[in-house]
Structure 1
Amino acid sequence: MSTIRFRRVASEARIFVADGFLDEDEIAAILAAAGEGTAYGAQHDGTGLHFELPLAAAPELTALQARLEAVLGFANLLGDTFRFRRYHAGEGHPPHVDCYAWSGAHLVVTAMLWLTCPAQGGETRFGRARPAALRLEPRRGRLAMWMNYGADGRPDPLAWHEGLAVAAGEKTTLTSFIYADRAVAPAFAPGLEADPAIPGVVLEA
């Protein structure tokens, strides 16, 4: 795979996008491994069909987790699964910040990939990003990654986000919730400047 370029999409909130992080073969393998989630206790509610997809389900998942850890420079202490979600028309996810702790580790980074994209809607919106709220449009193979804690180790309110409802078609995402010590989160890409002109990233007026 060619070198992946990460671009920062907000000047203060630490939100990064890398297009083409997954190729078509990887996407197909992951979708095949997930199926309808019956083997993994899938649930279906207003936030779509969702379940935990274990790394053991496909070698592509193990390789993907290793690539994410290599990019960040630290290990996911609770990285045995990915969160698989499939949204149909009318389904989305309410606003929240991904700040959780488990066994002394904190959810420092959220890494979300799009496996399938809807015909309309389904953007991920960061309503408190600066200098302006922004929406990430679903793009197949795209990785969005954001830091949930600030340099002071406290939850970052600028990481507040929501999944806007799908208007037509379906959206499938695969998310790695990366747990580590809060002190390691600021280490990723501290020198990247915000890039306001990224296709599929919409800054709100």
Structure 2
Amino acid sequence: MTKVHESPGEVLQSHPGVQRVPSPRIDMFVAREFISAELCERLIAKIEAEHRPSTVADYNGDDVFRTSSTCDLSRDDPEVAALAARIAEYSGIDPAHAEPLQGQRYEVGQEFKAHTDYFEPRGPEFEKYCAVAGQRTWTFMVYLNSVEAGGATRFKVIDKIIQPEAGKLVCWNNQRPDGTPNPATLHHAMKVRKGFKYVITQWYRERPWG
């Protein structure tokens, strides 16, 4: 059982095979084979069955800033619920703080330009998104396939590129130790050059969701 005083980073590092990205500017971890190839395939099928154009908070006037598709995965789906529970247990984060799981789908040429997952405190939509559950804290992203070409995730500030690999988990804390948003989490879902890219994303908030 997770000790009350353990941070998500400490809990993550207690698991075999979890690697901490060696940067003093970000709490970030990578784990290969977090989920099975079979589960990846079933999740891809769910995303393919029901996806919509992705949206952004605080629209910046760039109509091609985020060109992917998004799938809102149902908590009533047993596999989705089991995955959400697994991520919560793996991280030690209270599952009540989790947003609903989302899937993302990228075709050739699609990307999500450099952005952060936290909501900009001075942004016009900050209150809309954060009034109830507060700011985003941790991001957990699982790649569902190994992209034929392109599709890497680039963290420019810390000079780190994560290559897509089926079942690979990448997670990071969107906040600094003092609780303020960490701009070093800036990342770019780079353009897919060949094939498709599928990921699952789990975000957590400061307070219980909803």
In the superposition, the TM-score normalised over structure 2's length comes to 0.75
Cα distance in structure 2, aligned partners of 1:49 and 1:74: 27
Residues 163 and 20 (structure 1 numbering): CA distance in 2 closer, same or farther, change over 3 Å?
Answer: same
For residues 102 and 63 of structure 1, the distance between their equivalents in structure 2, rounded to whole angstroms, comes to 28
Bigger strand fraction: 1
Corresponding position of 1:90: 109
2:147 paired with 1:118: yes
Structure 2: gaps spanning 5 or more residues: 1-14, 55-63, 120-129
Equivalent of 1:176 in 177, 198, 202: 202
Aligned: 1:149 with 2:170: no
CA RMSD across the alignment:
1.9
Distance 1:71 1:142, change over 3 A: same
For the 8 Å contact 2:99–2:202, the answer to whether it is kept is no
Q: Percent identity?
A: 26
Letter in 2 for 1:11: S
1:170-205 per-position Cα deviation (integer Å, ceiling 9, x unaligned): 100110111135xxxxxxxxxxxxxxxxxxxxxxxx
Q: Which amino acid letter does the alignment assign opposite residue 56 of structure 1? A: D
Partner of 1:34: 47
Q: Which runs of 5+ in 1 are unaligned?
A: 182-205
Confirm whether residue 8 of structure 1 aligns to residue 8 of structure 2: no
Q: Within 5 A, what are the aligned runs for 1:1-205?
A: 4-12=16-24, 13-37=26-50, 42-43=52-53, 46-57=66-77, 59-79=78-98, 81-100=100-119, 101-129=130-158, 133-181=159-207
Letter of the structure 2 residue corresponding to residue 53 of structure 1:
L
Per the TM alignment, residue 35 of structure 1 is displaced from its structure 2 partner at its CA by 3.3
**Secondary structure class of the residue paired with 1:176:** strand
Deviation above 4 Å: which 4+ runs of structure 1? none
Whether the aligned pair in 2 keeps the contact of 1:110 and 1:147 (CA below 8 Å) is yes
Asked if 1 retains the 8 angstrom alpha-carbon contact of 2:71 and 2:104, the reply is yes
Partner of 1:187: none
Give the TM-score of the pair, scaled to structure 1: 0.76
Cα distance between partner residues in 2 of 1:180 and 1:76: 12
Report how many residues are paired. 172
Deviates more, 1:19-28 or 1:42-51: 42-51
